[in-house]
């Protein structure tokens, strides 16, 4: 089961109360105040984990509460701190405050750990209020309440390449051919109901390159408004570095014009927003082993008009697969290099800073 949204409620532990006590022991004159402090409440912590790939465990258990701190005791004994609650979430999860819509944190790296609800501070015992002029204080504090908030979790897959296109254009067959992923493959629309991830390796050691490819469930006209599988999976394309747009040029789809098919998907990407239409793209003519020459000619004309690189592949025979794979890795490496250069510029003082202007 693939769950990419969940709403949960978290409550950090309350702090323990401070103690009101006086030391009364035989042979200890003027024992004085001895009330200890309350313990701090436990925190609610989130950690990004590569072992998790859905939010399904939050769907069935939406409430999490950390342990409260123990109360302070006499003889200046402080209360024990409450135990933290650790919630593991998939890498690529964005945490929103459900009440304000504010982004709490974007978990984009593995093992990233963030405190999302802090435990309350323990109250001070009366021993803390003793002074030279106030030797028998009866003041003591109650523990502070822990933070409580409702959070909305949204998972956006982290992949370098996204395979997009109409249902049944061969996306699942391609990812099965170039990676170890084994998605369900059948000849009816919307066979793929959830994204599939696969790792693709190109080249030989020590020069081999690898990238992660995602098979996005089929899009149709009106997907950005909720048609078909709707926007449920369009968000997973936002983080990808390259789009591989697959178009069926055989007669199996029943659609007459592959150029129109390509235009519809391009329109859906643009209508969704988030800059999807600006991402680097490779156009792929799929099922070339059973291609209709007229459809292939139309798609070639469309690719030339849009200035897109066109590859002709067959996942059945393997034709064009290696060329496409090396083209994908080359484009991904280009984007990675641009990001590395941009990151390096940001690390240099004055470079990339909009507040620094040359005269």
Of 108, 125, 155, the last residue of a domain is 155
Q: Are residues 312 and 339 in the same domain?
A: yes
Tokens linked to 326: 């090396």
Return the pLDDT at 358. Answer: 35
Residues 125 and 14 in one domain: yes
Residues 224 and 317 in one domain: yes
In a domain, 211, yes or no: yes
Q: Are 328 and 210 in contact (CB under 8 A)?
A: no
pLDDT for residue 113: 94
Kindly report the backbone phi and psi dihedral angles of residue 351, in degrees, each rounded to the nearest multiple of 5, phi listed first. Answer: -95, 125
- Contact present, 240 and 161 (Cβ < 8 Å): yes
Residue 43 confidence (pLDDT) above 90: yes
Residue 354 lies in a domain: no
Q: Does 315 share its domain with 181?
A: yes
Please tell me whether residues 86 and 192 are part of one structural domain. no
Percent of the chain predicted with pLDDT > 70? 86
Domain tally, the chain? 2
208 & 283 share domain:
yes
Dist. CA 256–CA 188, nearest whole Å: 18
Alpha-carbon distance values, 287 to 81, 223, 323 (Å): 63, 24, 15
Instruction: Assess whether 217 and 300 both reside in one domain.
Output: yes
Instruction: Please indicate, yes or no, whether residues 257 and 133 belong to a single structural domain of this protein.
Output: no
Integer Cα distance of 229 and 186 in angstroms = 17
Residue 185 domain flag = yes
Give yes or no for a cis peptide into 28 (omega within 30° of 0): no
Pair 200, 326 in one domain: yes
**pLDDT higher than threshold 80 for residue 30:** no
User: Do residues 107 and 89 make contact, with C-beta atoms less than 8 angstroms apart?
Assistant: yes
Confidence at 9, pLDDT banded by 50, 70, 90: very high
Residue 92 lies inside a defined structural domain of this protein: yes
- Sequence-ordered strand ranges (E) for 216-256: 242-248
Bridge-partner residues for 199, per DSSP?
Answer: 212
In a domain, 291, yes or no: yes
In a domain, 310, yes or no: yes
Domain's final residue, options 87, 121, 155: 155
118 and 232 in a single domain? The answer is no
> Which domain range does residue 25 map to?
5-155
Mean pLDDT of the region 201-227: 70
Residue count of the chain, please give it: 359
CATH assignment at residue 76: 2.70.210.12
User: What pLDDT, in 10s, does the model give residues 322-345?
Assistant: 999 899 988 888 888 887 787 777
Last residue in a domain, options 139, 155, 171: 155
15 pLDDT tier (thresholds 50, 70, 90)? very high
My answer on whether 136 and 236 are in the same domain is no
Residues 127-149 have a mean pLDDT of 93
Q: Is the pTM of this model over 0.85?
A: no
| Pair (184, 53) in one structural domain | no
CATH number at residue 307: 3.40.50.300
Helix pair angle (258-272, 293-306), 10° resolution: 40
What is the DSSP code (8-state) at residue 145?
P
Does 355 reside within a domain? no
Whole-angstrom distance, CA of residue 345 vs CA of residue 352? 6
More confident residue, 57 or 311: 311
Residue 67 is assigned to a structural domain of this protein: yes
């Amino acid at each position: 089961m693939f769950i990419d949204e969940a709403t949960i409620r978290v409550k950090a532990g309350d702090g323990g109360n401070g103690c009101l006590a006086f030391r009364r022991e035989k042979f200890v004159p003027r024992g004085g105040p001895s009330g200890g402090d309350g313990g701090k409440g436990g925190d609610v912590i989130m950690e990004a984990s590569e072992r998790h790939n859905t939010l399904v465990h939050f769907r069935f258990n939406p409430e999490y509460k950390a342990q409260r701190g123990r109360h302070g005791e006499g003889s200046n004994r402080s209360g024990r701190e409450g135990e933290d609650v650790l919630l593991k979430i998939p890498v690529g999860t964005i945490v929103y405050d459900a009440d304000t819509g504010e982004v709490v944190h974007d978990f984009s790296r593995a093992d990233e750990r963030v405190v999302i609800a802090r435990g309350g501070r323990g109250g001070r015992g009366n021993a803390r209020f003793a002074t030279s002029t106030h030797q028998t204080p009866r003041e003591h504090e109650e523990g502070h309440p822990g933070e409580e908030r409702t959070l909305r979790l949204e998972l956006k897959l982290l992949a370098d390449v996204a395979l997009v296109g109409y249902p049944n254009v061969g996306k699942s067959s391609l990812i099965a051919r170039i990676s170890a992923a084994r998605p369900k493959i059948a000849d009816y629309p919307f066979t793929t109901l959830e994204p599939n991830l696969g790792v693709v390796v190109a080249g030989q050691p020590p020069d081999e390159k690898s990238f992660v490819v995602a098979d996005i469930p089929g899009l149709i006209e009106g997907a950005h408004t909720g048609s078909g599988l709707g926007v449920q999976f369009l968000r997973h394309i936002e983080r990808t570095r390259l789009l591989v747009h697959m178009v069926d040029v055989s007669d199996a789809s029943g659609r007459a014009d592959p150029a129109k098919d390509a235009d519809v998907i391009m329109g859906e990407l643009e209508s969704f927003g988030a800059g999807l239409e600006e991402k680097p793209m490779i156009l792929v003519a799929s099922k070339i082993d059973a291609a209709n020459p007229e459809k292939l000619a139309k798609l070639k004309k469309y690719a030339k008009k849009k200035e897109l690189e066109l590859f002709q592949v067959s996942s059945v025979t393997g034709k064009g697969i290696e060329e496409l794979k090396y083209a994908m890795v080359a484009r991904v490496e280009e984007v990675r290099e641009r990001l590395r250069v941009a990151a390096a510029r940001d690390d240099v003082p004055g470079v990339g800073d909009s507040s620094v202007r040359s005269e």
